[in-house]
Structure 1
Amino acid sequence: MKPTTRGTLAAAVTCVAAAAAAATAATPAAASTVPVPLPLDGVERSLHMEMPHVAGELPVPVPGAPEGTRFAEGHLLPERTLPRLPVSGGLPGGDVRAPLPHVLGEGFDHLGVSAPAADLRTAVPGLALDTPLGRPDAENGGLPSLGGEPRAALDTPLLRTVPGAEIVTGPGA
């Protein structure tokens, strides 16, 4: 192999490896929350006073795989006709840090409230139906036998989270 061919091949492999590394490093799906800052710098400069620092976090909901249907013996329809769909995400979070004038002297004290985004796991309600018809019956000429009254059930929605918050005071910028 000529040296120029080797150099061209090495450069191409390096470019492909760099592109693959950049594509895997910058996936937006890897972030569970999106930061949302509230810019108050212009208000601080125009009013010549210290403004609160306000920032938030919005969760990115991620749908999961639906629970599969289960067939039960003696029923015409599956146990979960409309399966529940799990969705994981989070509760929105916030961070507020406000200046408080110091009553006894010069300077500022600060009050801070921090409520980080909490994980949230949910599942939408599912539906289970059953008809009054049974299996085909050989003694009834192949027609299904009547099994009783129709049944419908709604699976309860699921909601699991553990939110938290923190309030702090003290000196600071």
Structure 2
Amino acid sequence: MQIFRVHKNHEISAKFLDNRRLSKQVLELYQIINVCLAKLEYIDGNTRYLSHPIVKHVYNDGYPYLADTYELLLEMDKEHRRRGGKRSKDFEHQISNMGDMIDTGIKDGAFSTEKLPPIFVYGETKLMSDQAYLEYEKLLFMKWTADKIAPRCNISR
């Protein structure tokens, strides 16, 4: 599980991703947010991924960065749809409901309104600084080199 952020600007990060990872990123962000919402009992759900470093980072010791993480999800989904990707009406509805819950949580003072701090976790490497953005860029180039299918994201390998 990763949050592929190559820049603090969510639009830049979304446009950088290849189509396959972009679509998967929307689903992973949705899953991460749902784990946090379940842990805080806003929804019934599975919290077993709470021990994952990326989920722990978003969860932020019980004061999660859900507002900005949700904005990242929306930007990734917007780019996915701009490239011709589809979403079911049911999933669109679930994303909308998620936004309503996050708005409620912010009004309740349960969620942080701060930006999601950068984090890079891969293998034994863990960075929590702006260097994380560059490391994700390097990781994506490495993965694209190994991919059998060209990335199709307007980024040259």
Shorter-chain TM-score tier: under 0.3
Q: How high is the TM-score relative to the length of structure 2?
A: 0.20
More strand by proportion, 1 or 2? 1
Highest relative contact order (Cα 8 Å, sep 6+), 1 or 2?
A: 2
Larger Cα Rg: Structure 1 or Structure 2?
1
